[in-house]
Amino acid sequence: MEEVAAMVRKYVFGNPIDTESVVKEFPVEKGNVPYFEVAINEKTMKLSMAANDKVYGLGETVRGINKRGFRYTSNCVDDHVHTEDKSSLYAAQNFFVYWGSDKRFGMFVDTPGKVSFDIGDREINTFEIDLEDFDANIYVIDGDSIMDIVRRFRGIIGKSYIPPKWAFGFGQSRWGYMNEQDVRDVVDNYDKQDMPLEAVYLDIDYMENYKDFTVNKERFPAFKEFVEEMKGRGIHLIPIIDAGVKIEDGYDVYEEGVREGYFVKKENGENLVAAVWPGKVHFPDFLNEKARNWFGNKYKFLLDQGIDGFWNDMNEPAIFYTEDHLKEVFEEIKVLEGQNLDVLSFFKFQGLVEGLSNNAEDYKRFYHDYKGQKIRHDKVHNIYGYNMTRAAGEAFERLCPDKKILMFSRASYIGMHRYGGVWTGDNQTWWSHLLLNIQQMPGLNMCGFLYCGADTGGFWGDTTEDLLMRWTQFSIFTPLFRNHSLKDTRNQEYYRFTNKKDFRNLLRLRYALIPYLYDQFTKAAVEDDMLFKPLCFEYPEDEMAYEVEDQLFVGDSIMVAPVYRQNSVGRYVYLPETMKMVRFRSPEDYDEEVLGKGNHYIKAAINELLVFVREGKKLPLAGPANRTGDINEKDMIYITGPHCC
Ligand code: MIG
């Protein structure tokens, strides 16, 4: 304990808003923040980087595992085009480890507003942190290794969320399942093909006019019985919950929220009117403890019908438009109407409409009641989704303390990792997004988010069979393993493709791996460790290990080296130690070969994936099962690494 305190130092800038991400108390240091030069007037802190210094962390962000060479801005945003020029995605996870030749430390910039980390973008050897306001708690963490620093950081933010074991089963999702028959068809098809399946996700169409905590009676005439029917087949239904509450007379959630003052308000005290799926909505003030309790209790409506898993969406919060800004835009367009639109006025016209969604000015139009203070939204923007998920997590502890509920969210901030996991939002059917998925996992784990995964196969666009195959070969290792796609794109349930046998074998391999994965996951959660580790985290003395950004250790026993390029039938793999290569085609059909430390070119046909068992370790594989409840954990086979038992 004592030692931990000494290794973590807290500094305070200005008047920070408490995010409740850190769960331990620290005395405030009197001196300056070490390592950085702080310019209070410019609201920046700068550090000069030596040529080979490296930076890891920052959670769910674009680009590689070493974050150096770009600028990342924590500002939760609904943007589905995750090209490598995007500074902001759905999450804000402000922890990084600086691993340099003479400076080695971790830092958590704890502020709920916008902050950007320019790690050699504008100036190649300068790391500059820009805070929109100069109010933040800064935690500086020392340690002898990257993992030391990570563990110490995790020790101050509280334990990571652990889902129920069935949440390691496979989940099929699609925005477009319209009614119970659609869902039943999915389950029937998986069963018919003898493919494992654990859950089917319910996207917004299960609701009545996109109203939270309602079920559409025409599409699901007997919801409770349907949940029961599915449960009887070993299938969990996982409904989506959106942040916005539809404005509609007679809708209890809306009426109670208005009556009790639980929605976010404009300067003049009126409830903000914004629009999302259901048209006009109010946003619950998740930062207000009472509102949080109230909204959390609403999950009971679904829990009572047998539901035991949820995903929270649109909680950046995403805004199509606000009523006030829409009015302004119509007025400006009226002025342009009838004019000869030239280059300037035309682009202005176009921009007016395009700029309606997720508009930065809109986030300044409303206020929260946070710990008794009225705070403008943009100052606390990054902890909104966190507190929505916290509302649910705290409610589950009250409503069903003896049961684990599956919960994950789109927007997040450090602290939310105690209440749920994350999925990485609307990715695309791109090979580059398979690589991004691989590279995002360690950063998320560092920040406490262990239960995570991406939309396997890609959400936007039409997937291809080979992309889905390669993607699945990685996703069978991610705790959250879900195939999800957008309405009107190609259907991507596994039974729809030519090589059903190969997909079946991959799903079966996932189930064979579940005992190992769940065991390693819970261990990582309890011990503040990571499930996915880059090679250099384990081999800090090995220079080559720092070069590898497309292989990961998964738990203590194995390393994976996914193939993520179109038409590749093999890849180079770097082994930081002697390992046993296992080339899997199914849980029963694989080749094994012991390979020495160094670079190897290893073949992997489209239906083959590569796992490496570490020296002195073993990988347990369970016998076949199509549901987690049917996994026989007594009947395991072990693939042993070199020099093992
Ligand atoms: O703006 O509920 O990221 O997974 O299918 C779209 C519909 C709203 C965004 C989520 C996506 C989900 C979709 N939602």
Which tens digits make up the pLDDT trace of 562-611?
Answer: 999 999 999 999 999 999 999 999 999 999 999 999 999 999 999 999 99
**Does the beta carbon of 243 sit less than 6 angstroms from any atom of ligand 1?**
no
Q: Going by C-beta distance under 8 Å and a sequence separation of 6 or more, which residues neighbour residue 29?
A: 9, 10, 11
Rounded-to-integer distance, Cα 374 and Cα 366, Å: 10
Task: Evaluate if residue 41 carries a pLDDT over 90.
Answer: no
Q: How far away, in angstroms, is 231 Cα from ligand 1 center?
A: 25
**Does the beta carbon of 242 sit less than 6 angstroms from any atom of ligand 1?**
no
Q: How far away, in angstroms, is 313 Cα from ligand 1 center?
A: 7
- In eight-state DSSP terms, residue 204 is G
Q: For residues 82-91, give the mean pLDDT.
A: 97
Question: Cis ω on the peptide bond leading into residue 515 (within 30° of 0)?
Answer: no
**Does the beta carbon of 590 sit less than 6 angstroms from any atom of ligand 1?**
no
Nearest ligand 1 atom, CA 486? 5
**Does the beta carbon of 285 sit less than 6 angstroms from any atom of ligand 1?**
no
Rounded-to-integer distance, Cα 495 and Cα 485, Å: 15
Closest CA to 64 of 550, 446, 434, 410: 550
**Does the beta carbon of 89 sit less than 6 angstroms from any atom of ligand 1?**
no
**Residue 154 token pair:** 């995790």
Q: How far away, in angstroms, is 459 Cα from ligand 1 center?
A: 9
| φ, ψ for residue 302, nearest 5 deg | -85, -40
pLDDT tens, residue by residue, 182-207: 999 999 999 999 999 999 999 999 99
Outline where 483-598 has alpha helix (H): 500-526, 535-538, 543-547
pTM: 0.97
pLDDT tens, residue by residue, 134-181: 999 999 999 999 999 999 999 999 999 999 999 999 999 999 999 999
Task: Evaluate if residue 502 carries a pLDDT over 90.
Answer: yes
| φ, ψ for residue 590, nearest 5 deg | -155, 155
Q: How far away, in angstroms, is 163 Cα from ligand 1 center?
A: 22
Nearest ligand 1 atom, CA 173? 5
Rounded-to-integer distance, Cα 550 and Cα 458, Å: 19
Nearest ligand 1 atom, CA 204? 2
Q: How far away, in angstroms, is 487 Cα from ligand 1 center?
A: 10
